[in-house]
Chain A
């Protein structure tokens, strides 16, 4: 069935440190949904919404099925609510499930909400470790940062990637986060400052690591008919898919984000993208550890293996370049858990709508992509192609 689905609204709350968060957790989501309705305007309210897809990770929130506790999801209004949990990619997955519900014809207007997941978390790495395979991997205490270290150390060795290469892509995010009112870390760290920051887990410096943030993101999707009523700037979902890997480190070569390569081929084919560097105008990539962005350029076909640092050095992926990437500052500068994996989609939508604040608006962006990464040892990726 050829039913088109558009994003018509984006909602963001302010973002802060999880430790400094003063809002109660349901307040954050309520504010976020309200921001989404305000964005659309036209009197849109929860009464008009068919379903809500809530993305989070139980263990971070300290409660099972945290969606149940969110009365702002229209529970008193008899709405259908769904909890989507695929770890770090849950935002991307909720976006996908929301899309399916409209695409199938079962719903006309839906919300996908990326929760402020980590504000109750005392020690994030402890929770991340609890997601590791208990018999074989958990005892060694690996959190997301260690997993990132294995990928980036191997990448460094295989292609002679330098510390400066990693710092440069980190500095790109920090530079743009300064101009993003919805970014948490807005310090504008330079390459020199990043290289001088402490090494946490080699080869990753402190300023190449995301913070633990608080804040939420949502998107409002609609069928073609409703989208045209609700928005002058609908952004259409052209293709979306996700991919999985084994729970154990298992078959992973750690030499690339090879699952993302497979996923990209699959999604590009559906969207008619033949030459990513030419056909894509904007990309929001999941970069909780700055070096990931380089691996993602290569997996997404922006360049050959080992050439990603050159794209950064040549400004190809910076503002004004051929394919600007992650001008929000990315997950590197704001990571409120699951919200961060939906922010990628929200930011791309805003870029395509021409509604990005802070002087980061890319001119004439017509096609964009949004990516998320998560799960044990990078078990899952999601990828979405959006266009005007």
Chain B
């Protein structure tokens, strides 16, 4: 048995607040969420719809100025069901996924919920790539990505 009697630790932590400047695009996107709107914007060069809205097209590197209000319906590109408890995450099982709004050229991360199950492992079968989802909104919205609590199947 290895002697670990000298495996002493000095504990400290960082508790440092930050404030990130939103800029116009993220401000308008997050402000849209307050009004239950998922906004995207369209690159003037490649016509790619970006959701969430971006200050510039990451491919063409040009400013994006044309705004577009999506229907709010998204499609699952991929997902993962978390079955164990992680520090700071909801109790398992919970689902996070990559979703795409309409024909956007970008997808984004969010939570997926409202899928009924008896045994947690069923969630892997009941959640499907290509499934259409709609947003479930927080009652009190503050202009934050979490104003959408999660996305749920459109027929739920």
Instruction: Find residues 169-199 in chain A having any chain B CB closer than 8 Å to their own CB.
Output: 198-199
Query: Is A153's CB under 8 angstroms from B79's CB?
Result: yes
Closest residue on chain B to residue A151 by CB atoms: B78
Query: Nearest Cβ distance between residue B1 and chain A, in whole angstroms?
Result: 11
When the two chains form the complex, which single residue of A139, A141, A157, A202 contacts B145, counting CB atoms closer than 8 Å? A139
**Bound complex: CA A253 to CA B98 (Å):** 10
Query: Is B109's CB under 8 angstroms from A154's CB?
Result: no
When the two chains form the complex, which single residue of B96, B107, B145 contacts A142, counting CB atoms closer than 8 Å? B96
Query: Nearest Cβ distance between residue B126 and chain A, in whole angstroms?
Result: 12
A123 within 8 A of B: yes
The size class of the interface chain B forms with chain A is 35 or more
The size class of the interface chain A forms with chain B is 35 or more
Closest residue on chain A to residue B95 by CB atoms: A202
Query: Is B129's CB under 8 angstroms from A201's CB?
Result: no
**Bound complex: CA A20 to CA B124 (Å):** 35
B34-58 contact mask (Cβ, 8 Å, vs A): 1 or 0: 0000000000000000001000001
**Bound complex: CA A125 to CA B59 (Å):** 30
Closest residue on chain B to residue A125 by CB atoms: B86
Query: Is A136's CB under 8 angstroms from B109's CB?
Result: yes
- Interface segment out of the listed B4-12, B67-75, B133-141: B4-12
Query: Nearest Cβ distance between residue B34 and chain A, in whole angstroms?
Result: 15
Query: Is B4's CB under 8 angstroms from A22's CB?
Result: yes
B78-101 contact mask (Cβ, 8 Å, vs A): 1 or 0: 111111101111000000111000
**Bound complex: CA A137 to CA B129 (Å):** 20
Query: Is B78's CB under 8 angstroms from A153's CB?
Result: yes
Query: Is B146's CB under 8 angstroms from A254's CB?
Result: no
Query: Nearest Cβ distance between residue B145 and chain A, in whole angstroms?
Result: 5
**Bound complex: CA A136 to CA B22 (Å):** 11
Query: Nearest Cβ distance between residue A123 and chain B, in whole angstroms?
Result: 5
Q: Which residues of B contact A (CB under 8 A)?
A: 2, 4, 6-7, 12, 14, 18, 20, 22, 26, 30, 52, 58-59, 77-84, 86-89, 96-98, 105-111, 121, 123-124, 129, 144-146
Q: Which residues of A contact B (CB under 8 A)?
A: 20-22, 62, 123, 125-126, 129, 134-137, 139-143, 146, 149-151, 153-154, 157, 198-204, 246, 248-254
Other 8 A-B pairs with CB < 8 A, given A20-B4, A126-B88, A248-B108: A125-B86, A135-B26, A141-B88, A198-B83, A200-B84, A202-B124, A249-B98, A250-B106
- Enumerate the 4 nearest inter-chain pairs by beta-carbon distance, A residue then B residue, closest first: A149-B80, A154-B78, A150-B78, A141-B89
